[in-house]
Amino acid sequence: MTLFQRWTLATAAWAWALAACAAPTAQAPLSLTAGEGLQRVEIPLELLRASTRDGWADLQVLNAQGEVVPQAWALPPPIQERERSAPLPRFAWPDASPGDRGDAGVQVQVDAQGAIVRIQGPSTTAAEGPASGRWLLDLGPDAHRSAEWLAALELAWEAPREGSHLRARVESSADLKQWQPVTDAALLDVPGVGGAPGERLVQRRIEWPSSAPALRYLRLSLQPPAPLSGVQALWRTREASPATATTPLRFEPEAGTTPPRAWSLDLGGAVPLQELRLMLPQRNSVASLVLEQRTDDKTPWRAVARFTAYRLDRDGQEWRSPPVRWTAPPARHWRLRLDERSPALGTDALEATAVWTPPQRVFAARGEPPFRLVAGGPVVEPLALPQLLPAYEAGLEYRLPQAVAGEVSLTPAVPLGWRERLVQATAADWRRWALWAVLALAVIVLAVLARRLMRDIQPPSQGS
């Protein structure tokens, strides 16, 4: 290879490295509130998908002159959860007779809506009677399909003056026949040590695991037996927030196994999903699933949640599993994978609805309108929020007037000149360019050395 060929190859590699900085451009017009200098805007999903920079560094608000206006990322909005308590109907579970095998002699009578009417057994104990080792609780018909989720059970019992320690075990069932364990907890109500007179150490709460479905019927076992005077269910709900959005998703089955054991989704860009409600394709299905994510197709999958999804018919109604929630960074690729012990779900795609919080940009409306939101544009480091908002306090950005992003349009990127590329280059771009420059220089040096070496080792001419 001649010196000219080596130089041509190095120059082509350098040009390719610069061309790699170009990216598709997406933009949306902004409708601003008149007379307000500081505003905020939700970033549409299409713009997040079009962004090609880590941390959405190429998302900018531009004015009519194409200038980047002063702007900063809004901090995540505070999670708004509400909690309420409701008393649960409770029934003392009869003790088995010596000749009975397990709970074979226990009969539970329910009405047409599934509410427990009474419980009978060889030695029935009244609900308000003496201490019982096991209790039957009814969460009600809406436990499986409500927007609320069960957070805990709060127990009340009359503790003796010297105190009491209880070991609690909770099981759940949808039909009063098949029971599955949920959780164990240690409860206590004892006098305090070294505290004020009458002070006590109290733990009467059983935390409900977030991965466990709240089936309608619960069986509570206490050791030693205790006379319960009440059981409160603590329900939580996440209030609808203007910063929260929903979007339908479709997980496609992965090739490799028939029927499939995994379903994947490519969002096209990093999206901060935080909640997923899955619709199983077939009725009367139950599946244990793992939700995974990764930033690109070269990094390994990382599990973010494990949950049980179900879709069951009972008493003329359809029961669906509650949404699964998690805390994880934004990601482009998501996957649902069946647990090794879970049965197959068929060959169909999996439909779901995701809840996510669109990131918001706070900006100063400097310059002339119209303003627009651009992905794939100039890469300018945003300001810190306190730099943009004087006397900043938590949540102040969400009290600003909100600009509205219009329809997103996708257009090919305008080729950038050398000056624009240098101005918009990030530190990673400069490192990449420096690497190619060093490689090109090394090729030139090697070519010069090789040519000199070839000249030195040429045999003398016959005439000399």
SS (H, E, C) the chain: CCHHHHHHHHHHHHHHHHHCCCCCEEEEEEECCCCCCEEEEECCHHHHHHCCCHHHCCEEEECCCCCECCEEECCCCCCCEEEEEEECCEEECCECCCCCCCCCCCEEEECCCCCEEEEECCECCCCCCCCEEEEEEECCCCCCCCCCEEEEEEEEECCCCCCEEEEEEEEEECCCCCCEEEEEEEEEEEECCCCCCCCEEEECEEECCCCCCCCCEEEEEEEEEECEEEEEEEEEEECCCCCCEEEEEEEEECCCCCCCCEEEEEEEEEECEEEEEEECCCCCEEEEEEEEEECCCCCCCEEEEEEEEEEEEECCEEEECCCEECCCCCEEEEEEEECCCCCCCCCCCEEEEEEECCCEEEEECCCCCCEEEEECCCCCCCECHHHHCCCCCCCHHHHCCEEEECCCEEECCCCCCHHHHHHHCCHHHHHHHHHHHHHHHHHHHHHHHHHHHHHHCCCCCCCC
- Domain end point (choices 339, 356, 373): 356
323 and 341 fall within a common domain: yes
- Of the residues 356, 382, 401, which one is the last residue of a structural domain? 356
In this structure, the answer to whether residues 90 and 232 fall within a common structural domain is yes
Write out residues in the chain with pLDDT < 70, as ranges. 1-24, 78-79, 95-105, 122-131, 143-147, 192-198, 239-243, 315, 412-430, 458-464
How many domains are contained in the chain? Answer: 4
Q: Are residues 300 and 404 in the same domain?
A: no
pLDDT, residue 370, reads 92
For position 109, which CATH number holds?
Answer: 2.60.120.260
Q: According to the model, what pLDDT value does residue 175 have?
A: 85
- pTM attached to this predicted model: 0.55
**pLDDT at 11 (0 to 100):** 44
Pick the last residue of a domain from 222, 238, 254.
Answer: 238
Q: What pLDDT score was predicted for residue 373?
A: 93
pLDDT of 10: 43
Range of the domain at 252: 245-356
Are residues 171 and 267 located together in one domain of the fold? no
